[in-house]
Amino acid sequence: MASRGKHTYRFGNHAIDGDGSMRAELGGKGAGLAEMTLLSIPVPPGFTIATSVCRYFLAHKTLPPEFHEERAGAMRWIEDSAGRKFGDRANPLLVSVRSGAAISMPGMMDTILNVGLTRENLLGLAAQSGSVPFALDSYRRLLQMMFGTVALGVPKKWSARLNLYHSE
């Protein structure tokens, strides 16, 4: 399985690297976002990681050698488009990571929202939103309900019982 080829496809902010006919390579969500961008529907800037990257990983137990550089370039494009930096303390760029497939599988795919939100930039989000409770709850949901269950495999019944904040 070759590692050559495009690994990321931009969409939104008047840029588009794919279209709706590319379900096999972009998955259903990625193809839909590409098509919406082509139709001039306002879509926040983002990028889709090609399904070929997943196939390569499954075959080789590593990512394609060119992938990291291409992904970094796609993230820089999002940062430039959004006017925010990933990891910035005062003006953090938060992204969503959504899984997808060429064939829709409702309930089988996972999403992690607010990727990039950390203790270090929590006050930046609070200042942007004007709400400390909103920022804290966003961080709690990221750790407890999304990252914990999706990325770390913490059972949902356990993560729902966690209390991340000590109340006096």
Beta bridge partners of 9: 48
Backbone φ and ψ for 33, nearest 5 degrees, come out as -65, -40
Q: What is the pLDDT of residue 99?
A: 82
Other CB atoms closer than 10 Å to residue 1's CB: what's the count? 9
Backbone φ and ψ for 9, nearest 5 degrees, come out as -130, 115
Q: What is the pLDDT of residue 162?
A: 56
Is the domain spanning 1-83 CATH 3.40.50.2300? The answer is: no
Our CA angle for 125, 135, 168, nearest 5°, is: 135
Q: What is the pLDDT of residue 84?
A: 95
Q: Would you say the C-alpha torsion 159, 161, 167, 168 has a positive or negative sign?
A: negative
pLDDT along the chain (168 residues), means of 10: 72 91 92 94 94 94 95 96 95 90 70 92 96 95 82 72 49
Between CA 95 and CA 62 the distance in angstroms is 23
Q: What is the pLDDT of residue 163?
A: 56
Q: What is the pLDDT of residue 143?
A: 87
Where do the structural domains in the chain lie, given as residue ranges?
A: 1-83
| CA dist list (Å): 120 to 72, 80, 84, 90 | 21, 21, 15, 9
Between CA 35 and CA 21 the distance in angstroms is 8
SS3 163: coil
